[in-house]
């Protein structure tokens, strides 16, 4: 059953009008039809599946954003460790040179 028919049924049962903006201007890009369709023209089962998929995508997007943030923090940590390691190596080389001078 299409959403528009369900909304009309709700209006009859509840004896009040559903706001117009509920039925107007909402497009959904249908992967199966490969074109945008009005949400009120969608079958309720299709609408629920589309909503479920959209929520899943949002959950994954949040996860991806968290992974990107974590990756950025790890890159900063690696850069810090590299610079620290280089500083230790430089200091070791200096000490080695000083030790060689003292031995000579």
At 52 the pLDDT is 92
Cα gap 65→71, rounded to integer Å:
10
- Among candidates 20, 8, 16, which has minimal Cα distance to 44? 8
Cα gap 87→80, rounded to integer Å:
11
Helices (H), the chain: 3-14, 44-103
Over residues 55-89, the pLDDT tens digits come to 888 877 767 777 888 888 889 889 888 989 999 99
pTM above 0.75, yes or no: no
Cα gap 51→44, rounded to integer Å:
10
Residue with tokens 């994954």: 60
Over residues 5-26, the pLDDT tens digits come to 998 899 999 999 888 777 677 8
All structural domains of the chain with their residue ranges: 1-42, 49-104
* DSSP SS3 for 36: strand
């Amino acid at each position: 059953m299409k959403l528009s028919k369900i909304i009309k049924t709700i209006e009859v049962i509840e004896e009040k009008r559903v706001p117009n903006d509920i039925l107007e201007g909402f497009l959904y890009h249908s992967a199966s039809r490969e074109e945008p369709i009005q949400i009120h023209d969608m079958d309720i089962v299709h609408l629920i599946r589309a909503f479920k998929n959209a929520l899943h995508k949002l959950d994954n997007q949040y996860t991806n954003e968290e992974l990107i943030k974590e990756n950025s923090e790890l890159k900063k940590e690696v850069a810090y460790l590299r610079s620290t390691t280089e500083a230790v190596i430089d200091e070791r080389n200096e000490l080695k040179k000083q030790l060689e001078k003292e031995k000579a």
